[in-house]
Structure 1
């Protein structure tokens, strides 16, 4: 089994709000991966004393532990319990009902000798390569369907459409959001390799149009996760002045890629 992970902040002077982990328990052929992209508050207060990295570390740590130790739980149940644990850690000090309370996108995958389970919430992406070499992108596309007028920038949605019907959903303080995630499972034989990506990397496809999901997958496999992040940074730098591709988007975003060859 090959596992490779790379993550880089969008701004070296600010903490990385992404979270990534992969675990291969000693008990057998199974494992898990977790990738979170923390949502930077668009403006104003969040009602919380804690930072987004504090939140993603708590939530990501709980997801990693539960997905390994509680294989009897479904992935939506794992996400719901992880959100509940994280909320319990700061509900006495923070206003968790605030629309800009710390929150994150989620990619969660778990595998054993028989199957691969997956969960995707919001705009991070999970790529799956099957035994034939075909690549499938598992996505939650609700953010793409939000009217552009509801976006503060091309990447930041107003709180009026986040975790609301007709908008899109992220992991914040309400465990019931886990039921909104895109989920499923595949026979292990149909999932040879997994690649989880935050939108700081998926902009290679979605903004810069350098290729499709299969091309991005091939690039991660050939050059490695760190090299792909560097390629995205080069594209961002080249477009910084004219903003032909970036338009209203931030120049650099936190970027994370996790590659798992089963």
Structure 2
């Protein structure tokens, strides 16, 4: 299997080069994490650690079972990672605070005959079949919130009827979008943070075009195209974002 990946901090980040995304790949798996940046107004997270710290610790806890070929469901692996990270800073931080650092999660794992996927929050997994059929596995619950005010997001984060992220609640893992696909039905897979998937979700290009760019020109070219759109954007919302992509192709 060929694996190509890229992760890049938003060009307007201060301090420069601080990237709250993380990519983790191995012989039969890929993981993309996207840490949730706090809003510009001061929010008391109850945690002494940064979002990048949380992302790194989650990746560390996921790496061992994935690399040792654990047969546990992906939901169990993620729940175990969240539990371990929570325990590692429960003595110094208020892990009951709903504004504690958090992250999206996108994972795929290859078995002999199938491919498993897990998506938690807005980092989609996009699959293309040998016949060119596109399937998007996504979690749009944050888009269904009544508004994006601090109060609403805080009240509905990791709550029934709201949206779910990897933070301090292991039960969030079991709210992820999960499934399996026959391996023979998969020719290419892309895992993307929303800083890269905005090529389609914000800027209107098709998923087919996104995968074509990735397959023919690679992750760097996709992110370059996104940055060009970002620079010219006049819409509201975050102009730039960290962008991460993993492309998996071949047998």
TM-score interval, normalised by the smaller of the two chains: over 0.9
- The residue aligned with 1:41 is 38
- The residue aligned with 1:23 is 26
- The residue aligned with 1:82 is 81
- The residue aligned with 2:91 is 92
Are residues 1:199 and 2:194 paired? yes
Range with greater deviation from structure 2 (72-81 or 35-44): 35-44
- The normalised TM-score by structure 1 is 0.89
CA contact (8 A) 1:135 1:217 kept: no
- The normalised TM-score by structure 2 is 0.93
State how many pairs are aligned. 245
User: Which of these residues, 225, 230, 238, is aligned with residue 250 of structure 1?
Assistant: 238
Post-superposition offset of 1:67: 2.2
Secondary structure of the equivalent of 1:89?
helix
Tell me how far apart the structure 2 counterparts of residues 208 and 114 of structure 1 sit (CA, whole Å): 35
Post-superposition offset of 1:70: 4.5
- The residue aligned with 1:260 is 248
Unaligned residue ranges in structure 2 (runs of 5+):
none
Secondary structure of the equivalent of 1:150?
coil
Post-superposition offset of 1:131: 2.0
User: Which of these residues, 205, 210, 226, is aligned with residue 232 of structure 1?
Assistant: 226
CA contact (8 A) 2:82 2:170 kept: yes
CA contact (8 A) 2:158 2:169 kept: no
Post-superposition offset of 1:165: 1.9
Tell me how far apart the structure 2 counterparts of residues 69 and 208 of structure 1 sit (CA, whole Å): 39
User: Which of these residues, 187, 190, 214, is aligned with residue 208 of structure 2?
Assistant: 214
CA offsets, 1:204-240, max 9 Å, x none? 111111x12122111111111011111111111112x
Unaligned residue ranges in structure 1 (runs of 5+):
25-30
Tell me how far apart the structure 2 counterparts of residues 201 and 151 of structure 1 sit (CA, whole Å): 24
The root-mean-square deviation of aligned C-alpha atoms, in Å, is 1.6
Tell me how far apart the structure 1 counterparts of residues 35 and 43 of structure 2 sit (CA, whole Å): 17
Which ranges of 4 or more aligned residues in structure 1 deviate by more than 4 Å? Answer: none
- The residue aligned with 2:101 is 102
- The residue aligned with 2:67 is 68
Post-superposition offset of 1:112: 2.3
Are residues 1:161 and 2:164 paired? no
Are residues 1:5 and 2:5 paired? yes
Post-superposition offset of 1:68: 2.8
Post-superposition offset of 1:12: 4.5
Are residues 1:112 and 2:111 paired? yes
CA offsets, 1:49-105, max 9 Å, x none? 111111001101212222232522000001100111111111111111111101100
